[in-house]
Structure 1
C-alpha cells in the first residue's frame, strides 16, 4: 500500500496534447522540458507506457507502444521493394525506424537525416531501447541536417526506399507535407522503389490526411493508405501511406524477407498488413476518390 501511494505521488502529473476540443494525455513525471534550436522537447516517465517523447507538446513516441508505429511505417515498404540496399529516412531521431530497417540483412546503408541534434541525444540517453543497436550499426549514416534540402540535393534514382518519419506538419516538419517535396522523393527513388510516410490521423487530422493521400496519388502511379492503432496519438487511430511507380509493389511482401523479420515483430505480419490496407471506412474511401 505504501509503495502504491509513493508511486502515485511520483507519477502524479497529467501531460496532455491538445487538439481543438480534445486532449490526449498520460499521467507521469516530467524528466526533460527544454527548448532546442528548433522546437520544444519534453520527456516524461509514466507507469502505463514507460518513457515518452513530445515535440512542441505533441506525442511522438513511447517505450511500450512505439512498435505500433515503427513496424507499420517500415515493413510494408522494406518487405516489398525490389531492392533494399540503400534507404533514406527523413526524421526518425528516436532511432526506432532505423532499428526496424536494420533487421534486414540486405540493407547496406541507411542515411538518417534528422534536423534536431537534441532529439537524437536525448533519445539515445533516455529512450535507448527504441533505437536499440541501430546507433552502433556501421550501416547507419546519421546526418544532422535539413531533410528537405537533403532530398532536393540528392541525385536521381539514388535510394531503394524513402521513409518520411516526421512530426505533425508544423515547425521543422512543415515542409515535409507538400507536392514539391513528394515529387523530389519520387525523383530520387530507384526503379522498383517504395515511398513511405506517416500520414496523420484520419479522424483527428481528417483534412490533412485526405490532402496528403491525394497529393501523393498525383505524384506516384500508385498510393494507398494503411490504417492502424497508436493509442498515445490523437484519437488513437493513425495512418501511413505507401507509394510506388508502375505497380502497387507495397501490397505484396517478398516471402524470404517476411521469414527473416516476422518473429521479431509484435504488430506487423503479411496478414495484418493485408487487413490494414483493406480496413478503410466507406466515408474515407469516398473522400479520397472525390
Structure 2
C-alpha cells in the first residue's frame, strides 16, 4: 500500500484531511497529484447523493451536481480506470457534519453503472455509480449516529414541496435496501417489571384510558410497557417508573413526550 496518513477509523476535520493529502476543496472526489492517489468523500448528511452500502460494498455516486455525469475530463474517469491505472483510492465518510471518518484504501469491485438521480436543481439526470470495497472490510456504525442522520435528513425533507419530494423519493427508491453493520448500546430492562406493569393495568391504557386495541396470540390485551422517565435519560427500571400504554400512546410518548402527559403518568404511580 502507498501513502496512508491515517489509520482506519480515524476521525479528522475537512481541513486536516485535505492538508494531509494536499488536495483542494473541490467536492467529493479529489486527485492528489503529490501522492498520486484519489480521495473519495461519502457525505451522508446531505440529501443530494445517494451512496448505499450493500454488505461490504459501497455504491458510490460519481461527481457532477448538475446534468448528466460523464467519465471524460474529471475524476469519475480516474475512478473508473483505477483497476488498470493502479492509482490508489482512499475513502472518507461523513456521518456527523464536519467529522470525516477514514475508511482506508478501497478497490473498485464491481462494474460501474448508470442510474437516474436528481441533480442540485431537482431535475432527473444520469449519474455514475461505482461499487467499491474497503480492503479492511465493511465499517461498523453507531446506531445513535445513524439515527441522528435520519432525523436531520427528515428535517431537510420536511422543508420541500410535495413535487420536489416526489422527484427525490422516486430517484432514491430501491428494491434492495441499504445494509450496514450497526452497533448499539442496549439498556436491559427487567421482564418481570414489564409484565407486572401490563398485568396491573388490566387491559386499559394508562394514558388515554381506552381498552387495548387488540389481543395478542395468547388472548391477552395488547399493551406496551413504557418508562415514564426514559432509561436513556437516567430513569429507573422500577414499577413506579413503568406504565402500560396502547401502541398509539406509547408512540406518542416517544415522539412528543408532552410534559403534561409525563406529569399525569407520574401522578398515577405516585402511591406505588
Q: TM-score range by the shorter chain?
A: under 0.3
- Which structure has more RCO (C-alpha within 8 Å, separation ≥ 6)? 1
Greater fraction strand: 1
State TM-score, norm by structure 2: 0.24
State TM-score, norm by structure 1: 0.23
